[in-house]
Structure 1
Amino acid sequence: MNTFSIRRYQPVDFQEVIGVFNSNVPDYFDPSETQDLFHYLEQEIEDYFVVIKDAQIVGAGGINYDEDQITARLSWDFLDKTLQQNGAGTLLTQHRILHIQQLPHIQRLIVRTSQMAEGFYQKMGFQVKKRVPDYWAKGFDMVLMEYQG
């Protein structure tokens, strides 16, 4: 039985989060995306959380809010590659969905992911709305999905 906990990201977590991200390169993320994550963690965080197991960060994922004031986006979520399919991704996604559901002004929840995570999000209640081939990098399509509950 894996026991995971979730807490808010803190700047001191930066290197550990990057290490977890890098465990997913090149299988789930293109190497070029590492710099994008640096920028996100330093400039674009709104709500961002880390997953802890045995006092180690093993995953992370965020929420950003669109300028329309009614749309939330799941952003930059990943788990240590060796811990995938152990319930941590489901826990992290449910945590963020519940966080968003506490915000009465948010009417729409989307995620822009790749085809590699599309099946996971479908199981979590998201439906595909749009697909753009080679969006993130060659071989990494952008799949826009919306939460249906």
Structure 2
Amino acid sequence: MKTRIRRYRPADRKQVLAAFRTNVPDHFPASEESWLRACLDDPDGPLFVMVEGKGKQQQVIAFGGYEISPFYHLATLVFGLVRADRHGAGLGRALLNHRLRHMTKSKHRPRYVTVDTHPHTAGFFERCGFIEIARWPGGYRSGRDRVDLRFDLDTLN
């Protein structure tokens, strides 16, 4: 079925939360749901959903956004998740590329894009051109290890 990426709307909230929950506990601890809810309620940057279907039949299958610092040449990816039953289909890469390209059109176009993630998903970002810049054992409050990665937006073709 054909997918498309569009801006997040408040009507998507329930499906975004449901997609998040399919990734608990393997990719996100349940405790991060409160942060996701806060992000949806008061975003610091654009948020996007990948949907499948048309009209009222649309299903959210992926979600993610980003924030851009007005003071530094830096953006940070916010979330970035694909419904667990759709992992491995290239949807995460498509959503990531959409966000990166969207940043290049920003008034405050960043030079670098950072993301923090768990070691088991860091490889995805490395395959997409990100470079590991730090590793923090127990770096998340949940006790999980944290990996920080950076992408040079000037390398985007």
Corresponding position of 1:72: 75
Structure 2: stretches of 5+ with no match in the other structure: none
Which region of structure 1 is more displaced relative to structure 2, 85-94 or 40-49? 40-49
Structure 1: stretches of 5+ with no match in the other structure: none
Higher-strand-fraction structure = 1
**Which structure 1 residue ranges, 4+ long, deviate > 4 Å from structure 2?**
none
Corresponding position of 1:94: 97
Corresponding position of 1:110: 114
Matches within 5 A, 1:2-17: 3-17=2-16
* TM-score, length-scaled by structure 2: 0.87
Q: Give aligned-pair identity as a percent.
A: 27
Equivalent position amino acid for 1:12 in 2:
A
Corresponding position of 1:28: 27
Which region of structure 1 is more displaced relative to structure 2, 37-46 or 20-29? 37-46
Asked if structure 1 preserves the Cα contact closer than 8 Å seen for 2:103 and 2:109, the reply is no
Equivalent position amino acid for 1:26 in 2:
P
Equivalent position amino acid for 1:59 in 2:
A
Number of residue pairs aligned between Structure 1 and Structure 2 = 147
Question: Do residues 56 (structure 1) and 56 (structure 2) align?
Answer: no
State the alpha-carbon separation in 1 of the partners of residues 31 and 90 from structure 2: 28
Asked if structure 1 preserves the Cα contact closer than 8 Å seen for 2:23 and 2:84, the reply is yes
Distance verdict in 2 for CA 1:35–1:84, change over 3 Å: same
Alpha-carbon distance, 1:114 to partner: 1.4
State the alpha-carbon separation in 2 of the partners of residues 97 and 76 from structure 1: 14
Asked if structure 1 preserves the Cα contact closer than 8 Å seen for 2:75 and 2:110, the reply is yes
* TM-score, length-scaled by structure 1: 0.92
Distance verdict in 2 for CA 1:45–1:12, change over 3 Å: farther
Which region of structure 1 is more displaced relative to structure 2, 101-110 or 11-20? 101-110
Equivalent position amino acid for 2:45 in 1:
E
